[in-house]
Amino acid sequence: MNPHPDRVAEEPRVVIVGAGPVGLAAALLLARSGIASTVLEQDEAPSTHPKARGIRPRTMELFMQWGIADPLYAIALPEEANRFIYCDTLAGEEIARTGEIESKGSATTLARACRVAQDSALRSILGAVEAEPLVTVRLGSPVVAIEQDDDGVRAVDASGTVHRGDYLIGADGAASAVRRLLGVGMEGAPVIGYGQSIYWRGDLSRWTADRLCIQFHTGARSGHPASVASVDGKERWITMVMQPASETRPEPPTPEEAREIIARAVGAAVGDEVDPEILDITTWRISAQVAERWREGRVFLAGDAAHTFPPTGGFGMNTGIQDAHNLVWKLAAVLAGNAGPGLLDSYEAERAPVARSNAAWSAENGARFRRIQAAIAAGDDEALAEQLDAQRGHVDASDQDLAFRYETGALAGRDPNDGSPTARARLGSRFPETALLIDGERRSSNTDPVDGFRIVVADAARVDAARTVLERLGLPGSAAVADAAVLGVAEAAVVRPDGIVAWCGAADPAEWEAALLGILERRP
C-alpha cells in the first residue's frame, strides 16, 4: 500500500521482507535517508497478538528520535508495575514479589522502559511509515525465490511478481523464508521448550487493582504453573503456560481448555467470578539461536530472522530494531556513495556478539524463573530470596540494554578512555547521555533527532573545523560541544549516525578526517 499514490517513488533501492517492527523500522530509516524501499509481507494484515510486552530504554531513545515515543508512553503501564508477583492464584496467597525497582529517573538516559505490547509498537512505527512516500508496503506477498548478481537483488513473490533492489533485508521472523532460501543455518539451542500464549479479555480488577506488576506467576505449589500478564492495564491479558522440549510442537489448547487454564491461574470459577473472552491462542518454540551468518552477498538478515531468544527478558523486538538501526545507516552511506561496500561487512561483526549476549542473558532469566518456582514448591525461603534478589537485574536491565560495546567493526583507532565508566565516551559504545551544544541549542546526545555523523569536541573553538571536515567529505552531520568530563582524556569524538563512538582522541581535524575515511572504507 502506497499512502501517497500521487507521488511515485524512485526505483526502490532496498527490498525488505517482513512488515513487523524490524522491517518497518528499516523502511522508516531508509525513507528518512532518502532511499526508497518495498516491504513484502506474507500476511494479509498486521498481527494483533500482543507478543512481547516491553520496550527497553535504548529502543525508546530511538523512538524519541523518530517522534513516536510519546503516544506509547501515554498508554504504558506505570513504572511501579516493574515487578513480578508470585502467588498460588491471583485470588489466593501471595508468596513473594520482586523488590521495588527505583528507576524514576536516570543520568544514563532520558528515556525509560515502556511497558506496552508489541502490537502497539508496530502500529506506532507503521503510522510513521505511512507518512513516507518512499515506502511501499505490499501485504499478502510471500517471497518464494531470491536471485542476486553484481547488478542487484530480485525477490519473487508467490504471484510471480519480481521486486528489484540494490539490497534486500530479511526481517521475516523466526521461521524466515529469506534465511531458508539462502541456506543459512542457526547456531545454539534450537528447542528449549514451547510457550503457549492465550490472549483474552476480562475483568480481573478485584484481584489486580492494587497489585500492579509485569506478570503474576501462579501454580508453583499446585504443579500447574502459568503466568497472567496485563496487556493494557485494564481488561486485556495474556496467560502463558510453558511446555517441555519435544520433537513435535504441542497442539494449542482449545478455547475451552484455555478458559480452564485461566480460571485455574486466577483461582475462580469460569462464568462466575471470571468470564474470559478468548481473542487468540498461539504456540511457539522457545529457542536461543543466532544465524551462522547474517549476510549473503546483497542480502542481510535482521531481527528474529537472525536471532531467536527466550521471551524471558524482552530483548527480541528490541534487539531487532537496533539491528535495523545499525544496518540502515551503512546501507544509506554506501548507496549515497559516501562509503565503500566494505562498510557493510561490519554489520554482522557488530550485531552478532550482541545477539549472542542477549540470547544467553534471556536463557538465564528463564532458568531463574524455574529456580524460583522450584524454591516455592519446596518451601525453600533462602533460595527464593536469593533468586528474587538476582531477578532485580532482569526487571531493570539497563546494563544489558545500554552498556553493550562493539569490539570490532566500523571503528577507528584505539580507545584512550578504555576502562573508564560508561559515563565517558568509549570506542564502540553508545555515546553517554549528556547535553550537547549544537548550532547554539542544547540537545540530548541520544534522544534528539540525528542527522548523520557527529564530531563532538570539548573546545567550542574547534566547532568550525569539525564542520569543515564533514563538508569536505560530503557527509551529512553536525558539530557539537560537550563537557570535557564526558570525553574523558580524549579531546574529541566521532559519533556514528547510530550513536556509537567510532573514534576518540585528539582535537586534530586531520585525525578526524582520517578516522572517518577509515570507518567508511574510503580512500583519501
- pLDDT at residue 247, rounded to an integer: 86
Residue 285 pLDDT = 93
pLDDT digits (tens, 9 = 90+) for 86-131: 999 999 999 999 876 545 446 789 999 999 989 999 999 999 999 9
- Please report the pLDDT score of residue 304 as a whole number: 97
Predicted pLDDT at 214: 87
Give the pLDDT score at 305.
Answer: 98
* Distance separating alpha carbons of residues 493 and 455, to the nearest angstrom: 6
Contact 61, 194 (CB under 8 A): no
Beta-strand pair 453-457/501-505 = unpaired
Give the contacts of 466 (CB within 8 A, at least 6 positions apart).
455, 457, 479, 492, 509, 512
Class of domain 405-519: alpha beta
Cell of 240: 502463558
What is the dotted CATH code of the domain comprising 14-77+116-187+288-400?
3.50.50.60
Q: For residue 215, which of 95, 90, 60, 350 has the smallest C-alpha distance?
A: 90
Residue 315 C-alpha cell reads as 530483548
**CA 351 to CA 362: how far, in whole Å?**
16
Q: Which residues of the chain have pLDDT under 50?
A: 1-10, 102, 104-105
- Give residue limits of the domains in the chain: 14-77+116-187+288-400, 189-287, 405-519
Q: Which of helix, strand or coil describes residue 128?
A: helix
CA 520 from centre of chain: 25
* CA 416 to mean position of chain CA atoms: 30
d(CA 48, CA 181): 27
189-287: CATH number: 3.30.9.10
What letter does residue 42 receive in the DSSP assignment? S
pTM of the model: 0.94
Q: For 499-511, what is each residue's pLDDT tens digit?
A: 999 999 999 999 9
The predicted-structure confidence for 143-163, as pLDDT tens digits, reads as follows 999 999 999 999 999 999 999
Would you state the pLDDT for residue 3?
37
Task: Provide the pLDDT for residue 364.
Answer: 92
